[in-house]
Structure 1
Amino acid sequence: MGGVTSSVAAKMAFFPPTPPSYALVEDAGIGVTTLSGQPHRENVEVLHLRTRKGNTLAAMYVRHPDAASTVLYSHGNAADLGHLYQLFLHLSFNLRVNILGYDYSGYGQSSGKPSEHNTYADIEAAYKCLIDNFGAKEEEIILYGQSVGSGPTVDLASRLPRLRGVVLHSPILSGLRVMYPVKRTYWFDIYKNIDKIPQVTCPVLIIHGTADEVVDWSHGKQLWELCKDKYEPLWLRGGKHCDLELFPEYIWHLKKFVHTVEKSPSHRQTWRANVERIEPSWKSNGFFEPSRKSTDKREKSRSTRDRTRNTEHRYSNVDKVDKLKISFDQFEKSRRSVDIFERPKRNMEQLDSGRKSVDRLDRIWAS
């Protein structure tokens, strides 16, 4: 029964890029492995990890000389390391952290087939690599899960009580809840984050777009309500499923979170008190968007006219990203279908009968 469940879930939830966006290039002369199309960098190491399921994973580790934290990044669907290479460099530089990213079994140049339980073994292998190969400690690690990556992230976080923090980017309540507004958890569901998130004891930051067309914003909001140690969430107004990295608030809020969790526990009481103050109004209004001063202190001195102009310019951030010399145009183009929970065509008629909001995913099925 479990095998059948895993097989059906894999067909519904996992869409590895075909073909992979990169190849592994071995340079015997200097003894290094690189991703095709990317130059060798002294601070980037390409790795092979072995999982307890017997699969071999492709991974990359980005070092920062002044890092006090290490981020273990679990990416979304329909993406692989080739798509995320520039993003990892960007995050490592701006957040001053080390980053380990990996491809799930069956993704990129990783062997095996994608499944829920394989991704649990995958993230465990990546975490073990940080501890054994790079000398990281549990209390120095921040887990980052984007969309489907929130599944293995929350599962591992629920079993590691001393983590520094967790970031959930466009997370899901569960696999089934992406497609159906069910009120209970069924045995055949996958990635039951809704049931596991209360077991996560470290600070949790949730980032979600209010116009997410794939994973509704309500998923992020409900998970935030269930968090034991809440950090001020980031609801990006107008943000969709694959463009949150292009909002300036994204990197500002991440910086603030990383700096906060790197402080001693006694210094964290201030932001905990702030969250306690905003939570009642958030619940009563059904909506909470953090004030702009929480993401950038410079906003305090800006006039209403300046804030309005900044909001209008937020949707043309390509110029700002260009200044960082990061090719986000290429990154966005390659991730248009990132982490889409597309339903298999052979099951469309059966699934349509139980779904009211079918129009929202028509474009996804057509692809």
Structure 2
Amino acid sequence: MRLFRMIGFYVAVAKGILHLLIYLSKKCRKLLVAVLAAIVAVYILFGFWLATLSTITGLVYVVYNFCDYLLYNPNDPLDSRTNIMSPVSYNLSFESLFITTEDKVRINAVLIKRPDNEYDKCPTMIYFHGNAGNIGHRLQNCYELYHEIGCNILLVEYRGYGLSNGYPSESGLYKDAVAALDYLLERPDIDQNKIVVFGRSLGAAVAIDLAKNGKHCQNIAAIIIENTFTSLPDIARTLFNCRLIRMIPNWFYKNQYNSLMKISSVVIPCLFVSGLNDELVPSSMMTSLFTLCSSQEKELHRLDGTHNFTWRCPNYYAILRTFLAKIMPEHKVMIAANTTTTTSNSATIGYQHTMNYTNLMVTNVHQLPQPLSAHQSLSPEQRQPSNQTLISFDDNDCKSFADHNTIEI
């Protein structure tokens, strides 16, 4: 019996390596060819054993750097580095900017501005997007945030994405976030007491790192976290549910994005928005982050949304408005005056007309449920990982988002 288990294990490992090589041959062909050429050269010059050692070392090197190719997708879609939609397409006033980070990398950003009589009084949201595409793919969402929340929006393009220079990395993205915040703090025409940080998926991990830093969190009024993971090793084991991936220790991952370790250092007001139908990130990960967050003003809302399109759920913007009105009471009148009908149209994507919140009730879309507050404790059932419903978008559901139909984390 033990022999059969050993054989099964080695077969699984062989399959994993084969799938990895096939993927690498498509995704990073030059790197794979270089490693194979080096192995052949070592074999010819020094013999079998050194070639074997070189093969193992080469595979370790390839797998270690493989994380970058899998995680960062600035060329998905293929024209994402050159074809960036302008806010002009949505009749939004904006400034196109280039910000220099502390390590001298020039990153692109777009500041979408409210009218002159509101611009210096309303909140400014720093928007960190997911791992694929560019800031232009988020303009539909930003258009609705602009009208529903009544805020300025600084869309940040990570290094190696869109028109930004450099190459993406975990430490690099953190520096991009710091540079974006520092840029706003240097502008006298921005209300520096109303800076809100928003992050979705990978962007939420970047936002958490920015908010946990004592030096920077004092300049952030609130943070909004949407559909993010506890750490990259955790989500890798979830997405690639095989024994080989589970055997890889955490320290071997080149990118960590360990939000679970950092979230306890976040003390500013924090809103968590979780899509129960997220096909990539289990909602239990968002629950874990909410539980460990040290903020005394935190809320967790669960909507029937998917990973990329929870923002299309009914009441999504009402939740954000209500949360920000608590944090900034003086802004309450302004956001009420600028509310449009975009929320009522969000059901056209095909979501259910009911929403589940904290396993307590099912409510009608026209009723805004009470969130799970910082002073409420989670029941044992809420602490357990929830079963995730895997769904796929129908072409008709996504026809208005043809430029943003890639899956991202």
TM-score of the pair, normalised by structure 2: 0.62
Aligned counterparts of 2:201 and 2:92: Cα–Cα separation in 1: 30
Letter of the 1:64 counterpart: R
Within a 5 Å distance, the mapping from 1:119-268 to structure 2 comes to 119-133=173-187, 135-136=189-190, 138-159=192-213, 160-162=216-218, 163-180=220-237, 186=251, 188=253, 189-229=255-295, 230-237=297-304, 239-263=305-329
SS of 2:262's partner is: helix
Aligned counterparts of 1:137 and 1:187: Cα–Cα separation in 2: 42
Number of residue pairs the alignment of both structures matches = 283
| 1:5 Cα deviation after fit | 9.7
Residue 19 (str. 1) matches residue 83 (str. 2): no
| 1:285 Cα deviation after fit | 3.0
Asked whether the 8 Å contact 1:212–1:241 carries over to 2, the reply is yes
Aligned counterparts of 1:119 and 1:106: Cα–Cα separation in 2: 10
Partner of 2:96: 46
Residue 286 (str. 1) matches residue 347 (str. 2): no
| 1:69 Cα deviation after fit | 1.2
Unaligned 5+ segments in structure 2 are 1-60, 239-245, 331-368, 385-392
| 1:54 Cα deviation after fit | 2.3
Question: Per the alignment, do residues 202 and 329 of structure 1 end up closer, same or farther by CA in structure 2, a change over 3 Å counting?
Answer: farther
Aligned counterparts of 1:246 and 1:215: Cα–Cα separation in 2: 17
Aligned counterparts of 1:20 and 1:154: Cα–Cα separation in 2: 26
**Higher RCO (CA 8 Å, separation ≥ 6 residues):** 1
Question: Per the alignment, do residues 272 and 336 of structure 1 end up closer, same or farther by CA in structure 2, a change over 3 Å counting?
Answer: closer
Within a 5 Å distance, the mapping from 1:4-15 to structure 2 comes to 7-15=65-73
| 1:283 Cα deviation after fit | 2.4
Letter of the 1:108 counterpart: G
| 1:106 Cα deviation after fit | 0.9
> Cα deviations across residues 27-51 of structure 1 (Å, max 9, x unaligned)?
xxxxxxxx55945957211111111
> Cα deviations across residues 257-314 of structure 1 (Å, max 9, x unaligned)?
11111138xxxxxx9997256x33x3233179xxxxxxxxxxxxxxxxxxxxxxxxxx
SS of 2:111's partner is: strand
Residue 102 (str. 1) matches residue 156 (str. 2): yes
| 1:233 Cα deviation after fit | 1.2
Aligned counterparts of 2:199 and 2:286: Cα–Cα separation in 1: 12
Asked whether the 8 Å contact 2:128–2:198 carries over to 1, the reply is yes
> Cα deviations across residues 324-360 of structure 1 (Å, max 9, x unaligned)?
xxxx843x333322424xxxxxxxxxxxxxxxxxxxx
Letter of the 1:96 counterpart: G
Aligned counterparts of 2:194 and 2:145: Cα–Cα separation in 1: 17
| 1:136 Cα deviation after fit | 3.6
Question: Per the alignment, do residues 6 and 158 of structure 1 end up closer, same or farther by CA in structure 2, a change over 3 Å counting?
Answer: farther
Question: Per the alignment, do residues 5 and 45 of structure 1 end up closer, same or farther by CA in structure 2, a change over 3 Å counting?
Answer: farther
| 1:105 Cα deviation after fit | 0.7
Asked whether the 8 Å contact 2:210–2:217 carries over to 1, the reply is no
> Cα deviations across residues 215-256 of structure 1 (Å, max 9, x unaligned)?
11111111011111252211113x211111111221110111
Question: Per the alignment, do residues 273 and 286 of structure 1 end up closer, same or farther by CA in structure 2, a change over 3 Å counting?
Answer: closer
Question: Per the alignment, do residues 218 and 54 of structure 1 end up closer, same or farther by CA in structure 2, a change over 3 Å counting?
Answer: same
Question: Per the alignment, do residues 196 and 285 of structure 1 end up closer, same or farther by CA in structure 2, a change over 3 Å counting?
Answer: same
Aligned counterparts of 1:251 and 1:79: Cα–Cα separation in 2: 23
Asked whether the 8 Å contact 2:298–2:374 carries over to 1, the reply is no
The share of aligned pairs that are identical, in percent, is 24
Root-mean-square deviation (CA), in Å? 3.4
Unaligned 5+ segments in structure 1 are 25-34, 265-270, 289-314, 320-327, 341-367
Asked whether the 8 Å contact 2:92–2:112 carries over to 1, the reply is no
| 1:79 Cα deviation after fit | 2.4
Asked whether the 8 Å contact 2:301–2:372 carries over to 1, the reply is no
Question: Per the alignment, do residues 177 and 45 of structure 1 end up closer, same or farther by CA in structure 2, a change over 3 Å counting?
Answer: same
